[in-house]
Structure 1
Amino acid sequence: MKPSNAIQERVFEFLNQYPPFNLIQEEKLRQLAAQVRVLYLEPEQVLFTQNDSAHAYFYVVRQGSVRLEHTADVEKPRLLDVCDEGDVFGVRALLAKKPYSSTATASEESLVYAIPIATFEPVLNTNAEVALYFAAGFAAGGTAQRQPTMHDTNKARIGLRTQVGHTQSPSLDEVVKVGTAKELTYCTQGTSIRLAAQIMSDKNSSFIVVVDAQQHPIGIITDTDLRKQVVAGPVAIQDPVEQIMSKPVVTIAPEPTMADALIAMIRNKVKHLCITQDGTINSKATRVLTEHDLLLAQGNNPAVLIAEIRQTKSVDSLPGIRDRAEELLQKYLEQEVNIAFVANIITEINDAIIVRALQHAEAIVGEPPLRYCWLSIGSEGREEQLLRTDQDNALVFENRHAAEEKEAQTYFTKLATIVNDVLVNCGLEKCPANMMASNPQWCQPLHVWEQYFYNWIHEPTEEALLHSSIFFDYRPVYGDYSLSRKLTDYIYQHIQKEKIFLPYLAKHALQSPPPLSFFRNFIVERGGEHKDEFDIKLRAMTPLIDAARVLTLDNRIAEENNTFKRFERLAKLEPQNAELYKEAAMAYEIMMRFRALSGLRNQNSGRYLNPNQLNKLERQALRNTFKPISDIQELLQVRFQLSYLG
């Protein structure tokens, strides 16, 4: 029985909100919606069992939640994921035509849409974006993910979702599928290094294959090659790609097993395998399998950590999970995974821990008396806290009469104290300056926060500018996000009214000079505990953070806190400065990587680097990231006419 037009329309409207369905043409999606079956599941009803033959459908949660568990041990099933509204599961039936690798059980009363595979397969075969979503998944760098909706007001951000089959480690004889659906990034012989680098950037790829006229692979260039031989080496960017490409290319046949791929990489000491039609260099290149793909395929999937955080019954287990996240960070950095992706992953894990801590705190102190929103500020607010540095947070709650607000503040400071303590146990130390929600000064109703920002904007004293540099980077993590949006609207209204604020904020951003001396030596600390060490945070990263913030406010770019994403947005809005902003974004990402590696190596915040411990290549690469700082600071000087401020 086909659904009525009304039901079909509701199915269409729902699917159109979520990937990969929002990547499908409207007419085709309506045709698909007409074939969808609506299933009602009672609590604890099993939809399919591990090792069951694949159904003729895969599934989307319409309402409720479905948990996926590995049930080899019936008495101790292992949770893999919890799927809720908009999440896709049961895709092994679609992709691999294999028995299910997990058991799907309704955690509560649930409505599930069953998508017929026979109807969906033509879409999968003709729509590259949809194919990439399913084949690569979020953890392999795909961009399709569920975005927060109005229904997420009281939930953490939920970007990290994965499909069945991507949450378990495959055996060594299983075919490696991850990453092989990506379009090949390639160029021909004689292409300039500049153009090859531009192709890599446009394709968001860390490598490019050099091919001959028959598209046979003859060489490969990676980000590492560009850094070593061009950025910090003698090769000019106008030279042909043959000058820096690695050759010969190590090739492998399509659909290699995990064991074959690992052995080929280890034996040849490479991190990229070129998949060709017959597995040799004498046939057409089709895909590239990376060490990153193998890392992810072996079960290093952050979605598993997220699921464990959400489902843990005791916050005592959170520190151990956060330790595993640090191990994941280490592996990602070793594999040179894109730093923006790494930052997103660690942010999602940190956010999940915060949300779980808040739920724990609410269970202790009772239901919140008023609507509230937990805000991450500082580096966590910018989604840049890779290492476990100190925590910075705040809390805003809704306006009421004074007595009610006072009572609510008492409740929320108790709540925040519990949360801050949980985060300390997870390795995130308390802020030395007490910039935390447990401090009543930073746990206030909306109107008080508006007054704070009013004072900072209209009376930009040095203290006000310091507070602005911290609190302007707030990001809502849990609660009623509308409170955060109201605060943002208020801020932009008053920045428009008080024209002098941004020039003063720009002047504040120039307090740290470019980090090289006249003789191109690193400006190091002259005394104290860190004598002769380089403060990468204060002298290199902060100038770019502050500049990006000012320019973002000037362009009225709301709700974008991440520094390199801010520069990417600015590059689109100001084409005349696009090259500078792109260089600044790249420089900041490199600095983040330097700091994270230093912190992991020395078991500290990574803030202070010893230049003498860096090799020549590392020193040169780091020096090259400093050039955009002086250029950005010069742009601020001219744009905001800072010479007139005195």
Structure 2
Amino acid sequence: MLKTLFTNQRIPNHHLHYNKKILNFNKLNTTRMKPANAIQERVSEFLKQYPPFNLIASEELRGLAGQVRVMYLEPEQVLFKQSDTPHDVFYLVRQGSVRLEQGPEEAKRLVDVCDEGDVFGARALIAKKDYSSTATAAEETLVYGIPIDLFEPILHHNPEVALYFAAGFAAGSQVQQGSMQETNQARRGLGSYTSTQALHLEDVLTLDTSRNKVTCTGQTSIRLAAQIMSDKDSSFILVVDAQEHPIGILTDTDLRKQVVAGHLSIDDPVTEVMSSPVISIQPNPHMAEALLLMMHKRVKHLCVTADGTINTPVVGVLTEHHLLLAQGNNPAVLVQEIRETQNIDNLPAIRNRAEELLQKYLEQEVNIAFIANIITEVNDALVVRALQHAESILGEPPLHYCWLSIGSEGREEQLLRTDQDNALVFEDAHAAEEKEAQAYFVKLAAQVNEVLVKCGFERCPADMMASNPKWCQPLHIWKQYFHDWIHEPTEEALLNASIFFDYRPVYGDFSLAEKLTDYIYEHIQQEHVFLPYLAKHALQSPPPLSFFRNFIVERGGEHKDQFDIKLRAMVPLVDAARVLTLDNRVTGENNTFKRFEKLAVLEPQNAALYRDAAMAYEIMMRHRALSGLRNNNTGRYINPSELNKLERQTLRNTFKPISDVQELLQVRFQLNYLG
């Protein structure tokens, strides 16, 4: 029998023995009930600790608390059954736990476990349908019944409360495909941020660039161009054609390096000294777009044209100075410092500043793709500077080579300083020359790996680094590696393939990486069984579909009772995106959420699923990075007890796309028939 302990009424004494353990109300005894307003305050104080009740105004919440029904459930007592007509309340666990199960009695399936602060039974409130699951007390449990007729007006006039339910945050709510957008909106809208420094990265740059429209023609002499720059107090001059289309740019730096140094005459035309082609951008870009373009192209001036290409007239110029004025802590400055520092010992301190910037970006809810691009630019600059330093010590490389980032850095997803994953490919030569070259490149890589260690990137525990001779090889050996992995897909081969397929060229002769890519796709087309085996490998980590009280955690070792968000939640999406990208012959895109976005375009019939998968992965990346910064580690292992309700509910929702994508792989590659 369900026992209603109290609403606003006195409780018969004979009910009180049921709740000695569960209520733990210090001043409650069996002879006298506390005044109704004290109970109301106690209920209100509890409610406001948890979403969505913490989003309700205090007076309104107290009024609601005064009408809450408090119910005691004995172990294994059923509160409602699947297909029952909805009650006139929905529920919140005060103490204890409630199982939500679906299916017939003899084959019940656990859907969720609700513990303190979890909302459940909200189907009656939202969908106006019969219950979709059976709710059973897993132990002695106290629940609050929230009257639906009192809560509905709150739901309708409070968008944040409505967003909580729309995102499927109530326990047992089915996470619908296409709802990850609502989940992310709820995560952003219902969360709290500690940073108050505005970063303005989403702002549109509406600077009057026409004031920087300083131009001349290609026939203008360097002397006259310098005079125009001086008269306009400008550090640059754009070189344009008769239609005012940009054909080049001349800067103070060009004058200093080429003319003042005596390499050119001041009477030569500007075409002899200008930089060409210019890097162009459309009018009024977002700051993030302009910043990334400057960093990636290594320029300090962007030519603003009518349509963003060099084939339309010049509108003006956007300079690095504009960005510095708009944003105090500019990552372009960090990258520039890395590239220009003469003392390699300065690199760790610069990289530490990038970590501070990362935290501000995350707290300010900056777009995760932008954050990943910024950190990738910083990390790439570190690698390039370390390689240049190593070359200066060891001498000029004996053969052309290309440094490859692999793993998360190869996918442009390494937000935190985790362990290194890299490789090196050099051009083919005679055997003796290759052996000598390999010795040089192993030494080169060892120096780079050491610099990265000093900058906070640990060595790879599996030694998948370019300083390992196995991963420092000429092109023909790398081709042989991939040939063997593709044509003989053993478990070890598939593991190596899943790591090395995400390589990204960072420095050196990029054509070597391009030749390797062409070879790989050629052989994937030849060996039709490879992708099904790679897909099967991608299903090794089953998705953790719900956050139960005892959900999937490590059973022993250093991380006992912790949740491995990388292995159990992120890797399944990484692996699935890789297989589907290879199947669609998409080249040049390693990033997981960008892969899913590309797949959404290529497969419109699965677009909603792929966009949900991309959003889920971005949410997990952000959560892992924040967790790592908070705990000064890689963020890989999460202590479930440290998650608040919003974090649990958000992460629970991200697991649904994992299940759906894995089901798609199962069907597409007919894995049930694969031996």
User: Which TM-score tier does this pair reach, normalised by the shorter chain?
Assistant: 0.5 to 0.7
Cα gap change, 1:54/1:296 in structure 2, threshold over 3 Å: closer, same or farther?
closer
- Residue 239 of structure 2 is aligned to residue 54 of structure 1: no
Q: State the secondary structure of the residue aligned to 1:635.
A: helix
Question: Which amino acid letter does the alignment assign opposite residue 527 of structure 1?
Answer: G
- Residue 453 of structure 2 is aligned to residue 424 of structure 1: yes
Asked if structure 2 preserves the Cα contact closer than 8 Å seen for 1:536 and 1:595, the reply is: yes
- Residue 353 of structure 2 is aligned to residue 324 of structure 1: yes
Q: State the secondary structure of the residue aligned to 2:282.
A: helix
- Residue 283 of structure 2 is aligned to residue 131 of structure 1: yes
Identify the residue that residue 401 of structure 2 maps to in structure 1.
Answer: 372
Cα gap change, 1:105/1:545 in structure 2, threshold over 3 Å: closer, same or farther?
same
Task: Give how far 1:615 is off.
Answer: 1.1
- Residue 548 of structure 2 is aligned to residue 539 of structure 1: no
Identify which of 343, 354, 365 aligns with 2:372.
343
Asked if structure 2 preserves the Cα contact closer than 8 Å seen for 1:48 and 1:103, the reply is: no
Q: State the secondary structure of the residue aligned to 1:132.
A: coil
Asked if structure 2 preserves the Cα contact closer than 8 Å seen for 1:339 and 1:593, the reply is: yes
Cα gap change, 1:295/1:541 in structure 2, threshold over 3 Å: closer, same or farther?
farther
Distance 1:587 1:60 in 2: 47
Question: Which amino acid letter does the alignment assign opposite residue 284 of structure 2?
Answer: L
Distance 2:556 2:235 in 1: 70
Distance 2:248 2:403 in 1: 25
Cα gap change, 1:487/1:294 in structure 2, threshold over 3 Å: closer, same or farther?
closer
Cα gap change, 1:518/1:638 in structure 2, threshold over 3 Å: closer, same or farther?
farther
Q: State the secondary structure of the residue aligned to 2:402.
A: strand
Identify the residue that residue 145 of structure 1 maps to in structure 2.
Answer: 293
Distance 1:536 1:295 in 2: 37
Asked if structure 2 preserves the Cα contact closer than 8 Å seen for 1:48 and 1:105, the reply is: no
Cα gap change, 1:60/1:158 in structure 2, threshold over 3 Å: closer, same or farther?
farther
Identify which of 473, 484, 500 aligns with 2:529.
500
- Residue 250 of structure 2 is aligned to residue 106 of structure 1: no
Identify which of 583, 598, 607 aligns with 2:627.
598
Deviations 1:105-143 (A, max 9, x none): 6344589679xxxxxxxxxxxx9x62224xx4xx43349
Asked if structure 1 preserves the Cα contact closer than 8 Å seen for 2:288 and 2:370, the reply is: no
Question: Which amino acid letter does the alignment assign opposite residue 131 of structure 1?
Answer: P
Identify the residue that residue 431 of structure 2 maps to in structure 1.
Answer: 402
Distance 1:294 1:368 in 2: 38
- Residue 296 of structure 2 is aligned to residue 158 of structure 1: yes
Distance 1:368 1:311 in 2: 21
Deviations 1:203-230 (A, max 9, x none): xxxxxxxxxxxxxxxxxxxxxxxxxxxx
Task: Give how far 1:605 is off.
Answer: 0.3
Task: Report 1:39-438 matches (<5 A).
Answer: 40=222, 53-55=232-234, 58-59=237-238, 106-108=256-258, 130-133=282-285, 136=286, 139-142=287-290, 145=293, 158-159=296-297, 161-163=299-301, 297-438=326-467
Task: Give how far 1:299 is off.
Answer: 1.9
Question: Which amino acid letter does the alignment assign opposite residue 54 of structure 1?
Answer: D
- Residue 591 of structure 2 is aligned to residue 562 of structure 1: yes
Asked if structure 1 preserves the Cα contact closer than 8 Å seen for 2:401 and 2:426, the reply is: yes
Q: State the secondary structure of the residue aligned to 1:145.
A: helix
Deviations 1:44-87 (A, max 9, x none): x99968xx85359744799xxxxxxxxxxxxxxxxxxxxxx999
Distance 1:103 1:391 in 2: 36
Task: Give how far 1:161 is off.
Answer: 4.3
Identify the residue that residue 636 of structure 1 maps to in structure 2.
Answer: 665
Distance 1:372 1:591 in 2: 35
Task: Give how far 1:37 is off.
Answer: 5.7
Question: Which amino acid letter does the alignment assign opposite residue 130 of structure 1?
Answer: Q
Asked if structure 1 preserves the Cα contact closer than 8 Å seen for 2:532 and 2:669, the reply is: yes
Asked if structure 2 preserves the Cα contact closer than 8 Å seen for 1:46 and 1:106, the reply is: no
User: Is there any run of 5+ residues in structure 2 with no aligned partner, and where?
Assistant: 1-213, 273-279, 303-321
Asked if structure 2 preserves the Cα contact closer than 8 Å seen for 1:319 and 1:426, the reply is: yes
Asked if structure 2 preserves the Cα contact closer than 8 Å seen for 1:516 and 1:522, the reply is: no
Cα gap change, 1:57/1:460 in structure 2, threshold over 3 Å: closer, same or farther?
closer
Distance 2:554 2:247 in 1: 52
Identical-residue share of aligned pairs (%): 71
Distance 1:144 1:344 in 2: 7
Cα gap change, 1:373/1:294 in structure 2, threshold over 3 Å: closer, same or farther?
closer
Distance 1:417 1:308 in 2: 23
Distance 1:466 1:346 in 2: 26
Q: State the secondary structure of the residue aligned to 1:477.
A: strand
- Residue 448 of structure 2 is aligned to residue 448 of structure 1: no
RMSD between aligned residues = 3.5
Distance 2:547 2:508 in 1: 50
- Residue 502 of structure 2 is aligned to residue 473 of structure 1: yes
User: Is there any run of 5+ residues in structure 1 with no aligned partner, and where?
Assistant: 1-31, 63-84, 91-101, 115-126, 147-156, 165-292
- Residue 634 of structure 2 is aligned to residue 484 of structure 1: no
Identify the residue that residue 118 of structure 2 maps to in structure 1.
Answer: none
Cα gap change, 1:506/1:88 in structure 2, threshold over 3 Å: closer, same or farther?
farther
Cα gap change, 1:364/1:632 in structure 2, threshold over 3 Å: closer, same or farther?
same
Which protein shows a greater Rg? Answer: 2
Question: Which amino acid letter does the alignment assign opposite residue 348 of structure 2?
Answer: P
Identify the residue that residue 578 of structure 2 maps to in structure 1.
Answer: 549
Question: Which amino acid letter does the alignment assign opposite residue 621 of structure 1?
Answer: T
Cα gap change, 1:303/1:55 in structure 2, threshold over 3 Å: closer, same or farther?
closer
Asked if structure 1 preserves the Cα contact closer than 8 Å seen for 2:565 and 2:636, the reply is: yes
Distance 1:538 1:113 in 2: 55
Task: Give how far 1:418 is off.
Answer: 0.6
Cα gap change, 1:543/1:159 in structure 2, threshold over 3 Å: closer, same or farther?
farther
Q: State the secondary structure of the residue aligned to 1:395.
A: strand
Distance 2:216 2:248 in 1: 20
Q: State the secondary structure of the residue aligned to 2:625.
A: helix
